Structure 1
């Protein structure tokens, strides 16, 4: 499914983005060279529709993309640097994590470009060429996206530049706005979206009132954790429960159905509330470059371990391209009790089956009893017994948890590991590094987590009841009671553990740890690559150096605290 309903509208939206594209120094030197607000095309209905469509495009530069995974999953307690990680500074918080780090520069540029598209679109509204209903809907959608991009910007960099108007001339200075000022705009925009958009599940990728409510619940909880405001906690709980009680979303009985490629479309997936749409067409997956290739969801390859050099194995569609950017931490694997919880065996892949036919002489020399179609690699999250090792020695490569990690959790192997597998696409083309799977930004489980956390201090029993309602849905049949928790067990640490089990890889972990002020604590405990490097100042990312170099007020607009050039 795609955001733009036809290729015509898709290319028109790309034309709009090209017209309002920020320069190589993005917002700091941006000039509105096209005069979009006076261009006759932008006063037509098609022009305004294309402007609105452009607001959607920027999300594809972050969700389901390597830059986005690096900013949100790498450098947390859940994922370590894989064997071919391209951003070790983010993964390990090394001394060279600074404003010159390319991933951070890419994300900054794309988010401010996305913000510019929203501001340009909002400036075109209301319009006499649209009906009253269209004006309200278009404004609600555009303001939702502005709020969304502003949230990503301020939660990543703090009190940086807050743009809410179209750029009308060259910008040579940058001025900081407080996080509080960011949130004022975020909440005002989300109120417009909630009030002006129709309720309902998004079936075509468009923002609905449900999406706006769900994201506002996340934003309220985020801000409540920073300010302690009881009203924000209450609103977060209310909005989350509104979505839960709408009965428009439900859990799959079999958790494997949640991630089955047949259910990868957010418009039909029962648990998906807010999704970034991808298709099996490269050109329809592009963000800002209409001619780019290899465009789509990269989750299919970024978490895949290097299997294709092992005995009995060769690269194929089923196992995907082994980019090995991120490997699960020992801590993440040990969070699951696979005897009662459905999610471990669906979320992770620990066995690979010999796909060479026939097996080569060198394969059989290593494992004389190996057979095509039988196990070629088995990686355990526990310690192997002597009998398991003996059995495997002539049949397949066996790695147990102590082969992959030290007892403290430091990686010994970085190219062979239990891989997070829920983003797989067995329908992809051979050797393709992207897929059609929609990137799920908010799913139904998050509404349970938000409501439970927001009620921890005020209505803990209801919070426990909600959490148990969710947990029993993830239990292996007949193990429901084993998944239940008591009131004393429901703590912020339990909620974070549950978020890890459910949402790992879904680009929220860094924000969750920052929000709960647990980032430094959890990384020091569970990420042995980063534990000696991470500091409190890493709760914000460094501002790209090219932005600092471009401003004329360098004494005023300086790098975030703690970072060097």
Structure 2
């Protein structure tokens, strides 16, 4: 699917197929699903359109706010406080009027209805092979399951339908989460596993391995440990995926089609076809332009400063042995203009900023020919000291580099071209490890974990990275998931499914700790949805909002 915007492709496909007939046929009849999704070409275009709303969640600010902040490892940076503080803080202002929850809710249901349309039309399409007929249905059901998974994880009981919406419908149901899993998500993914091809000719299309990987995630969420382990190990053992070494190469902007990424949402460098683009490069970086020897450029990114790592996240990395620290975070910046720092001349290419993860005496910092930003363990939200992590109103901090996009065409371009990794092989090892531990097999859990930790070791430090069965418990599993998957839209889900969201946020996220309550295990339903429902007695706002 890489290289074109799916909505545009659908529209162009319709226009090009209809233009030669426009004077002799009624265009209104062609512009309906009943009229267009009757041929192989039409249903294929409809299927492509089913992928479109993935781009509204993955790689977008709203999706990051609902999965990254309000956890134990990220809080609001300067830009988060200025633009959208209430989600992280679980404040009384986080309500159904939030544009973030409204945008994601609407996008997911648009995706679901498009998938429902494809599933309902595919049995009657003429001129398509039976194999491809099943594959089209399987792709649509795979996507529908993923959309519903996000809905139930975020909102709990929600409106559930497997039928195409035609016309205006105002009556909403509030279906229990278990029903949606049992009647929607699980059978859809199982159908996808059974009917998708083992590989896909087009990057970004669903295939059997992607379906098994997402199903493994779902089974882990449901506590079906044996099924989760079996699915995860099958993906590990029976496909051509591999862990990328060294770890930093995994996030090389020129390597975003590497063999660790099982399935990705596609973006492109073509601005016409890229839609909103992957804007993840904006949100995790601090504003280095306050430094006198630096101006904004494409290499270092456009700093929106939305998400600030917590002290707890910093504590998780043994930086002497674990390559995932330097492979995940940027701590050194080089001057890109001449400037003067601490009375000393700095030229382009010289070090301009160096973040050091231990205390440094102020006199040392003031004598250096570059900024030294140190770390003293103070809560990052309350730091006012000279050049310490968290200072400059939460602008100064190690920057997550996973989504940096120096290949953007201009300095201020927000639409990035990097693909977004929805699921990668490392997660399969984490799922297999946790599932084995949950079944009482700590030895197997350690074995899975050590494969991942060996990959993450600084060369020569492999032995120091190994763990044994006695090291494996829920805290360690959550710590390892944080180290490996930081920023990749897993954390809020991980804490919720393990029943640790409240306790960990209260302990490690001091901005959110005074406010978080049991009600915050689900999000507020958008007020626009509540207002539209003609049966408000049955379709109510989630408790507490």
TM-score (norm 2): 0.91
1:300–1:202 Cα change, 3 Å: farther
Counterpart of 2:122 in 1: which secondary structure?
Answer: coil
- Contact in 2 for aligned 1:452/1:464 (Cα 8 Å): yes
Q: In 2, distance between residues paired with 1:14 and 1:35?
A: 8
Q: Report the counterpart of residue 502 of structure 2 in structure 1.
A: 520
Q: Report the counterpart of residue 66 of structure 1 in structure 2.
A: 61
Q: Report the counterpart of residue 84 of structure 1 in structure 2.
A: 79
Residue 285 of structure 1 and its aligned partner are, at CA, apart by: 2.0
Q: In 2, distance between residues paired with 1:14 and 1:343?
A: 47
- Contact in 1 for aligned 2:3/2:270 (Cα 8 Å): no
Q: Report the counterpart of residue 258 of structure 1 in structure 2.
A: 250
Residue 310 of structure 1 and its aligned partner are, at CA, apart by: 1.7
Give the gaps of 5 or more residues in structure 2.
17-27, 384-388
Q: Report the counterpart of residue 262 of structure 2 in structure 1.
A: 273
After superposition, what is the alpha-carbon deviation per residue over 1:370-420, rounded to whole angstroms, capped at 9, x for unaligned? 33321212222221246743542xx12222123974599995531121111
Q: In 2, distance between residues paired with 1:428 and 1:499?
A: 30
- Contact in 1 for aligned 2:274/2:415 (Cα 8 Å): no
Aligned pairs for 1:91-240 (under 5 A) are 91-126=88-123, 127-184=125-182, 185-200=184-199, 204-224=203-223, 232-240=224-232
- Contact in 1 for aligned 2:57/2:104 (Cα 8 Å): yes
Please say if 1:309 is aligned against 2:290: yes
Q: Which moved more, 1:164-173 or 1:518-527?
A: 164-173
After superposition, what is the alpha-carbon deviation per residue over 1:28-66, rounded to whole angstroms, capped at 9, x for unaligned? xxxx99983421x22122110111001111110000110
Q: Report the counterpart of residue 29 of structure 1 in structure 2.
A: none
Q: In 1, distance between residues paired with 2:378 and 2:305?
A: 14
1:206–1:333 Cα change, 3 Å: same
Please say if 1:423 is aligned against 2:397: no
Q: In 2, distance between residues paired with 1:181 and 1:318?
A: 47
- Contact in 2 for aligned 1:347/1:420 (Cα 8 Å): yes
Q: Report the counterpart of residue 374 of structure 2 in structure 1.
A: 400
Q: In 2, distance between residues paired with 1:387 and 1:485?
A: 41
Q: Report the counterpart of residue 348 of structure 2 in structure 1.
A: 372
Q: In 2, distance between residues paired with 1:158 and 1:131?
A: 38
Residue 69 of structure 1 and its aligned partner are, at CA, apart by: 0.5
- Contact in 2 for aligned 1:380/1:418 (Cα 8 Å): no
Counterpart of 1:273 in 2: which secondary structure?
Answer: strand
Counterpart of 2:193 in 1: which secondary structure?
Answer: helix
Residue 129 of structure 1 and its aligned partner are, at CA, apart by: 2.1
1:388–1:14 Cα change, 3 Å: farther
1:408–1:544 Cα change, 3 Å: same
1:10–1:352 Cα change, 3 Å: farther
Q: Report the counterpart of residue 486 of structure 1 in structure 2.
A: 468
TM-score (norm 1): 0.88
Q: Report the counterpart of residue 492 of structure 2 in structure 1.
A: 510
Q: CA RMSD in A?
A: 2.4
Residue 11 of structure 1 and its aligned partner are, at CA, apart by: 3.8
Of residues 543, 548, 560 in structure 1, which corresponds to 2:525?
Answer: 543
After superposition, what is the alpha-carbon deviation per residue over 1:288-312, rounded to whole angstroms, capped at 9, x for unaligned? xxxxxxx211111111211112211
1:255–1:15 Cα change, 3 Å: farther
- Contact in 2 for aligned 1:367/1:396 (Cα 8 Å): no
Q: Report the counterpart of residue 9 of structure 2 in structure 1.
A: 9
1:297–1:275 Cα change, 3 Å: same
After superposition, what is the alpha-carbon deviation per residue over 1:124-180, rounded to whole angstroms, capped at 9, x for unaligned? 112222111110110110110111101111111111100210113321221111111
Matched residue pairs, number? Answer: 522
Q: In 1, distance between residues paired with 2:294 and 2:237?
A: 48
Counterpart of 2:344 in 1: which secondary structure?
Answer: coil
- Contact in 2 for aligned 1:201/1:273 (Cα 8 Å): no
Counterpart of 2:264 in 1: which secondary structure?
Answer: strand
Q: Report the counterpart of residue 274 of structure 2 in structure 1.
A: 285
- Contact in 2 for aligned 1:63/1:276 (Cα 8 Å): yes
Q: In 2, distance between residues paired with 1:10 and 1:383?
A: 56
Q: In 2, distance between residues paired with 1:440 and 1:33?
A: 39
Q: In 1, distance between residues paired with 2:13 and 2:217?
A: 29
Q: Report the counterpart of residue 228 of structure 1 in structure 2.
A: none
- Contact in 2 for aligned 1:378/1:398 (Cα 8 Å): yes
Give the gaps of 5 or more residues in structure 1.
17-31, 225-231, 287-294
Q: Report the counterpart of residue 291 of structure 1 in structure 2.
A: none
After superposition, what is the alpha-carbon deviation per residue over 1:265-324, rounded to whole angstroms, capped at 9, x for unaligned? 3xxx111011101111123222xxxxxxxx211111111211112211111111111111
- Contact in 2 for aligned 1:453/1:463 (Cα 8 Å): yes
Residue 326 of structure 1 and its aligned partner are, at CA, apart by: 0.9
